[in-house]
Amino acid sequence: MKKNLKYIILALVALVFLGTFVALWKNSRPKEIKYEQLEATVRDIHKTSVMTGKIIPRNEVNIKPQISGIISELYKEAGQMVTEGEVIAKVKVIPEMSSLSSAQSRVRLADINLKQAQTNYDREKALYDKQLVSAEEFEQVRQNLQQAKEEKNAAVETLEVVRDGVSRSNAKSSSTLVRSTITGLILDIPVKVGNSVILSNTFNDGTTIATVANMNDLIFDGFIDETEVGRVKEGFPMTITVGAIDDLKFDAVMEFISPKAQEKNGTNEFEIKAAVIVPDSVTVRSGYSANAEIRLEGVDSVVSIPESALEFQGDSTFVYLVKGDKKYEKTLVTTGLSDGINIEIKSGLKEGDKVRGNQIIEKK
């Protein structure tokens, strides 16, 4: 029994040594190198530039009040349509005390002058009726009465404007009513009822009551690098992709290239604008981030291969043409335009030829 156990142990040891030897022998043999095979195909190659920017309305207007005061009513909300001249808000005037006092004093003085003019007129008319005064003298007194009445009306209107921001005679064109200056969509109303607002003047821009824009006329506003700006010009077609809208692309036409560069992230870039064509069925919101792709140059229906198949030696470019199973022939080629992935082959290959690509690395 012991003798048999001894043989079994020796056999196991021999198997271990044999297995180790076989494994080391296999690992010591050179591994077969495999390569991808890439086929030369006919395709269009376009070199493009991608610019980042945003979609904005061409005509966006900030609506500001004509007088200072407090918002008493808001008639519209963001997202609503508004027509030119339509009222958006109403401003309650908070009069300046010195101006109010001056206007009140003017009304009182005008009232005194009117009463005196009326007395003079009544007395002069009685004398005129008795033919005791001339027509010229009576006409002068009547004219003074009319002037006193006009002065009283003007003083009252001034008081109403100072106190209320509007007079009875110009109620329809009241400066307390904030009206839209264009027809469009209300993008934002940054004020609330009770907020103080001021009119635009030399010292400040005034308070924005609402922002209104024509959303039927949109543009792409972005920047292009100085190394590519010389290749584009107004009228070039572009393709706009909006990140917030999946699987949709819009056509656009470049219509403006800034003559002056701006420094952005350490490089010089030029602002560009392009008119965007948006279908009626698609809703695009102001400020959407977007990418614009513009074709700088291109060739159509040319033989091409992936650029990774090329090898370079001095000023020459080569590929390894597949000639059979694991057989390759080094072939000189002339290249053309590249889009960064595929490259045009002007000579050296024809459609359907296969070339050696990258080495295939087998996973362990």
Per-residue model confidence as pLDDT tens digits over 201-254 = 777 888 999 999 999 999 999 999 898 888 888 998 999 998 888 777 889 999
CA of 342: how far to CAs of 161, 191, 351, in Å?
Answer: 74, 55, 14
Q: Which residues contact 244 (CB under 8 A, 6 or more apart)?
A: 285, 288, 289
For the cut 80, the answer to whether the pLDDT of residue 80 exceeds it is: yes
Per-residue model confidence as pLDDT tens digits over 268-285 = 999 999 999 888 888 888
- Whether the Cβ atoms of residue 160 and residue 99 lie closer than 8 Å to each other: no
Residue with the larger pLDDT of the pair 18 and 140: 140
Per-residue model confidence as pLDDT tens digits over 146-173 = 888 888 888 877 776 666 655 565 555 4
Per-residue model confidence as pLDDT tens digits over 103-132 = 778 878 888 888 888 888 888 888 878 887
- pLDDT for the residue 243: 81
- Three-state SS string across 193-229, please? CCCEECCCCCCCCCCCCEEEECCCCEEEEEEEECCCH
Residue with the larger pLDDT of the pair 28 and 84: 84
pLDDT band at 141 (very low <50, low <70, confident <90, very high): confident
- Whether the Cβ atoms of residue 321 and residue 331 lie closer than 8 Å to each other: yes
Q: Which long-range contacts (CB under 8 A, 24 or more apart) does 332-337 make?
A: 335/310, 336/45, 336/299, 336/302, 337/45, 337/47, 337/297, 337/298, 337/299
- Whether the Cβ atoms of residue 254 and residue 238 lie closer than 8 Å to each other: yes
Alpha-carbon distance 43 to 342, whole Å? Answer: 9
- pLDDT for the residue 23: 61
- Mean predicted confidence (pLDDT) in 122-144: 84
- pLDDT for the residue 97: 67
For the cut 80, the answer to whether the pLDDT of residue 364 exceeds it is: no
- Whether the Cβ atoms of residue 192 and residue 198 lie closer than 8 Å to each other: no
Per-residue model confidence as pLDDT tens digits over 45-60 = 888 888 889 999 999 9
Alpha-carbon distance 345 to 301, whole Å? Answer: 11
Q: What is the DSSP letter of 102?
A: H
- pLDDT for the residue 232: 87
For the cut 70, the answer to whether the pLDDT of residue 10 exceeds it is: no
Per-residue model confidence as pLDDT tens digits over 250-265 = 899 999 999 999 988 7
What's the token pair of residue 123?
Answer: 């007395």
- Mean predicted confidence (pLDDT) in 87-100: 77
For the cut 80, the answer to whether the pLDDT of residue 90 exceeds it is: yes
Mean pLDDT of the chain: 83
Phi, psi of 142 (to 5 degrees): -65, -40
